[in-house]
Amino acid sequence: MLKILDRYIIKTFFGPFFFIFSVLFFIFIVNIIWIQLGQFMGKGLTTFQIVKLLFYLGVNVVSMVLPLTILLASIMSFGELGERYELAAMKAAGISLTRIMAPLFGVSVGLAILLYVFSNNIIPDFQRKAKNMLFNIAQAKPALNFTPGQFIDQLPGYMVKFDKIKGEEGRDLEGIFIHKKAGNFDDQQTIVAEKGKFANAKNRKYMQLILYNGYVIEDSYAGKSDAVRLKQPDQGTKFDTLITHFDISELIDKAIEKENITEDYRFQTFRELFTTIDNTKKLNKVTNETIGNEMLSQLNSVVTYMDQGKTKAPTKQQYKLDTLKKDNKIQALTNAYSRLENFKNNLDTKDSEIDPSKKYFSKVILYQQRMLTYSFTCIIFFMIGSSLGSIIRKGGMGVPVIIAIIIFIIFYIINVGFENLAWAGKMNPYLAAWLPNIILFPFGVLMTYKALTDSQLFDSEKYKALFKPITKFFVKDKEHKRYQ
């Protein structure tokens, strides 16, 4: 049973806790709205659909909001207890600071466990709902991501512009301009039409566009020189009705559109992610071996390969470079340099092919481990916040908030920095996930020790006395002359 003192301390903590959590959650949601809302407003979506989707996307921020809330609430609650001299009264009654912190430490542990359960069970489900909803919107509202009067390149391989987008679902178009992106070995094509509309294609991976009253302007420049291109005129064809299709399978794959998706690691629980990690590790191993063997075979064409299993013998010299004539010597060196340069370029290309697999492997591990690390962050932030609050002895939204934000920014920078190193393959992803907590934990222990020993860490008079031998040279003596 909780004692009266425990209930009072917990009540003091949860007062600012719920307020801070609501404010922070709203701030993070506003950040998502700022990024996403421009894609949805005025495109035929109802307010309920927008709010529902943003809520699905916003649930993921709870894992960052809760630790920061615990940090702020603990600083404010203990600061208020100190400011009202309640901490001093408890200590005078023989109650240690450890005993005062005990009930809230238990609450923090409970919140940390709750965060793990939430991250393991609820967040993956909401991630799946958000992705499925994005797919449904993309299929039902093909004009969703288009902005009237602007050139956009969201359709793979095309640049498009629509002067006007009308209709309940944004299907009716006016002033259509479509340009196909083509390289040196592709024919150029541009379509201009007065009106058009989106239609439902039989294949869901294609978007159908029906155009009215326009021209198809194209050329046959593929593989031809620039001089020929300048002389050859474009070919224009007028049409009354033209039906064209756009391949949007790339967009569908990016959004993970199929319902009941289980392949994305963000939809999996902590235990399910172990299977994904093992499969990814095996796949990466096969890929690395394949690329390694391929590059080794290319290397054999540049230099003589000596099998390690055989007795090493000196490589036979086919000819001496010094004995060649000047022209032949230059040609031999040029050929050797060219082959080595091609090998280096191939090596860089293969390295860029490996990078996505390494990055994906690190992402899966970081996502799994953060289900645990953010829970431990809650406990560490409580240790720091409660200790600082009891030392500062100031409540409210002033100094405590500033200190809490500084600590959280430091934690966030460390977290993102190690995450980027893990993605680049320069740090073990397990270490990158836990290192921010490992760095902050000694600081939390130090702050707890300072609070238990009644440290005057933030006492300005203490620092004034410390630096008084230095500051006296820069401060004039204000004593009145009549006392001299």
Name the strand (E) or helix (H) holding 192. Answer: strand 189-199
User: Does residue 245 surpass a pLDDT of 60?
Assistant: yes
pLDDT in tens, 23-51: 888 888 887 777 666 555 544 556 777 77
Q: What is the pLDDT of residue 315?
A: 46
* pTM of structure: 0.63
pLDDT in tens, 381-403: 999 988 888 887 776 666 777 88
Contact status, residue 376 vs residue 437, Cβ threshold 8 Å = yes
Q: What is the pLDDT of residue 308?
A: 39
Contact status, residue 45 vs residue 353, Cβ threshold 8 Å = no
**Owner of token pair 């996502």:** 367
Going 329 to 332 to 334 to 336, the CA torsion angle's sign is negative
Computed on alpha carbons and rounded to an integer, the radius of gyration of the chain in Å comes to: 33
Instruction: Compute the distance between CA of residue 453 and CA of residue 381 in angstroms, rounded to an integer.
Output: 19
pLDDT in tens, 101-143: 899 999 999 999 999 999 999 988 888 887 777 666 655 444 4
Q: What is the pLDDT of residue 226?
A: 62
User: Does residue 453 surpass a pLDDT of 90?
Assistant: no
Instruction: Compute the distance between CA of residue 95 and CA of residue 215 in angstroms, rounded to an integer.
Output: 86
The ranges assigned to domains in the chain are 4-140+370-427, 158-247, 265-304+321-365
Contact residues for 251 (Cβ-Cβ < 8 A; gap 6+) = 138, 154, 156
Q: What is the pLDDT of residue 311?
A: 45
Contact status, residue 375 vs residue 118, Cβ threshold 8 Å = no
**Pairwise pLDDT comparison (325 vs 8), residue with the higher score:** 8
pLDDT in tens, 182-232: 665 567 788 899 999 888 767 666 778 889 999 888 776 655 666 666 666
Report the SS3 class of residue 177.
strand
pLDDT in tens, 145-164: 577 888 877 677 788 888 88
pLDDT in tens, 220-240: 665 566 666 666 666 778 888
Which residues partner with 10 through β-bridges? Answer: none
**From residue 219, how far is each of 158, 177, 235, 246, 249 by CA, in Å?**
16, 17, 6, 20, 27
CA-wise closest residue to 320 among 312, 329, 307: 329
pLDDT in tens, 306-333: 343 444 444 444 555 566 566 666 776 7
Most confident of 257-261, 357-361, 409-413: 409-413
Which residues partner with 296 through β-bridges? Answer: none
